[in-house]
């Protein structure tokens, strides 16, 4: 079973304020679990969110570099 994180824990993992994960939940942009009236986010959902929103740097080909110079 995946570890369930509080909104505060997710904010700490992401390095953001608590408001950001709350907004992700409200906009249903991240998977969450309701436990009674509490909201928890699976650790894997945080990892997936980060992976989906990670942008890789561009690697320019040598020919393109020569033209730019």
The predicted structure's pLDDT at residue 6 = 97
- Phi (first) and psi of residue 34, to 5 degrees: -95, 120
Assess contact for 4 and 40: CB atoms under 8 A. yes
The Cα–Cα gap between 54 and 69 comes to 29
Assess contact for 10 and 21: CB atoms under 8 A. yes
The predicted structure's pLDDT at residue 51 = 95
The predicted structure's pLDDT at residue 61 = 72
Q: C-alpha angle with apex 2: 47 to 17, nearest 5 degrees?
A: 45
Local structure of residue 31 (DSSP, 8 states): -
| Tens-digit pLDDT profile for residues 1-57 | 899 999 999 999 999 999 999 999 999 999 999 999 999 999 999 999 999 999 998
Tell me the CATH class for 4-56: mainly alpha
The predicted structure's pLDDT at residue 65 = 57
Please state the domain extents for the chain.
4-56
């Amino acid at each position: 079973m995946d570890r369930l994180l509080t909104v505060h824990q997710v904010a700490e993992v992401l390095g953001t304020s608590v408001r950001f994960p709350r907004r992700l939940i409200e906009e249903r942009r991240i998977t969450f679990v309701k436990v009674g009236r509490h909201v928890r986010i699976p650790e894997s959902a945080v990892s997936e969110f980060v992976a989906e929103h990670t942008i890789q740097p561009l690697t320019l080909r040598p020919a393109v570099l020569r033209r730019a110079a």
